[in-house]
Amino acid sequence: MMKSQAYALVCATGLALCSFAAQAQLTIEITGAGANRLPVAIADFTGERVVSQALVSVIRADLDRSGLFKLVDAGAPLADSATPLFEDLKARGADAVVGGSVAGAAGGRHETRVRLSDVLKQTSLGNPAYLHNSGQLRATAHRIADFIYEKLTGEPGVFSTRIAYVVKSPGRYELKIADADGSNDQAALASREPIISPTWSPDGSKLAYVSFEAKKPVVYVHDLASGRRHVAANFKGSNSAPAWSPDGKQLAVVLTKDGSSQLYLVNADGSGVKRVANSPGIDTEPRWSPDGQFIYFTSDRGGSPQIYRIQISGGAAGPAERVTFDGSYNVTPRPAPDGKSLAYITRNGGRFQLALMDLATKQALILTDSAKDESPSFAPNGRMILYATEIGGRGVLAAVSSDGRVKQKLSVQAADVREPAWGPLVR
């Protein structure tokens, strides 16, 4: 008993000390693909064999997982400087081909040059070069995949981004950060008490989240590079649901210091708290629109939980405007990165499902066929939505494209995964 008390004390005073070795990493399984996948051939690169094999396998896995590409066998290795065998590639069904070469560079580094070509037009679409060391193979491959993705789709790729999520194992909660493909997972925080609602600062350097280590919900801001954190909101009552302003200077939070759960703004350092909206009941789950004009939130002011928005720009907040009308339970609003649509969770015949609303037409589409969806989070290019759900009584993450076609399942063996948050684009 003394031992467990001493342990609790160590955990309470220095949560980072409670980290153990990383457990099984997040694995991604593709469960649905796009209808019209672009056929692309990623040839083996020439030059340093071990490096090029490592790069090419990650590039292929990235593009395949996106659900937007069909990988075609290129036949033979292809250097970036060589002219692809266009007629042969066309016969193989490829619309685009990627070749590359890896050469040694000063200081034991490598220079990888890549060329993407249009097979039908027989033209080059770009020839970038990457200088990297052996410890940056995955990161370099993600950057190459991002280049290919952006050239072929016109949207930025998100293979170099990171995701945050919470893993619950018996008596233990870990806030984890991993690459978007689930690799390189690291615990930013481990605690015996729950951690919920992680959310990335717009520059990707910090996470805001709610931790219950003080036997009540308190909002923290955690700097990922230094591992340091500070309390952003710890008022009497509950403190929860942090959301970053698009400029990263403020957080919208939900506090109960004046009564029921209401929306407030605080500076990211925890100073200058001010109330944003007033309702007699619950207002929670704030999220800024990407242009900073509105805050979307969940409120029961109309009798059932529905999504509303208030205009926030220019000081004083405007009147609340109701956004969802269908059904008796619509919660967790998440505006898309382009601000044109809104992901949220709707109760549909007893099932909680991920829905997407076109904000101009107010048309909504249910994107999943699961029953316990929670916490949607857009990829920063708006293409995929990551969310938490349950399969066989266990928490898993899943991702679905905004057209509902591409589907992925992300799980950690023998643990509950929940509360996903997709980080911003890396520039």
Partner 1 sequence: MRALISLTFLSLILTACGSQPPAPEQDPSGVESRSPGALKADTAPVGRTQPDSFDPNSIAALKDPRSPLSKRSVYFDYDSFIVKDEFQALLGAHGKFLTTNKKMKMLIQGNADERGSREYNLALGQKRADAVRKSLSMQGVAEDQIEAVSLGEEKPACLESSEECWARNRRGDMLYSGEF
Which spans of this chain sit near partner 1 (rule: CB under 8 A)?
A: 1, 5, 8-9, 12, 194, 196-197, 212, 215-217, 236-238, 240-241, 254, 256, 259-261, 282, 284-285, 298, 305, 329, 331-332, 345, 347, 352, 374-375, 419
- Cβ atoms of residues 256 and 237 within 8 Å: yes
Residue with smaller CB distance to partner 1, 191 or 289: 191
Residue with smaller CB distance to partner 1, 86 or 329: 329
State the minimum distance, in angstroms, from the CB of residue 396 to partner 1.
Answer: 16
State the minimum distance, in angstroms, from the CB of residue 196 to partner 1.
Answer: 5
State the minimum distance, in angstroms, from the CB of residue 238 to partner 1.
Answer: 5
Distance CA 265, CA 292 (A): 13
Residue with smaller CB distance to partner 1, 156 or 217: 217
Residue with smaller CB distance to partner 1, 183 or 260: 260
State the minimum distance, in angstroms, from the CB of residue 375 to partner 1.
Answer: 7
State the minimum distance, in angstroms, from the CB of residue 61 to partner 1.
Answer: 32
Starting at the earlier edge strand, list the strands of the sheet with 195-200.
195-200, 206-211, 218-223, 229-233
Tally of CA atoms within 13 A in the half-sphere of 33 that contains its CB: 14
Residue with smaller CB distance to partner 1, 151 or 301: 301
Residue with smaller CB distance to partner 1, 154 or 259: 259
Closest CA to 308 of 326, 283, 329: 283
Alpha-carbon distances of 387 from 255, 345, 373, rounded to whole Å: 25, 10, 7
- Cβ atoms of residues 290 and 246 within 8 Å: yes
State the minimum distance, in angstroms, from the CB of residue 334 to partner 1.
Answer: 12
Helix (H, G, I), strand (E, B), or coil: what is residue 274? strand
Gap between the terminal Cα atoms of the chain: 50
Distance CA 334, CA 351 (A): 19
Beta strands in 75-128 (DSSP E): 96-105, 109-118, 123-126
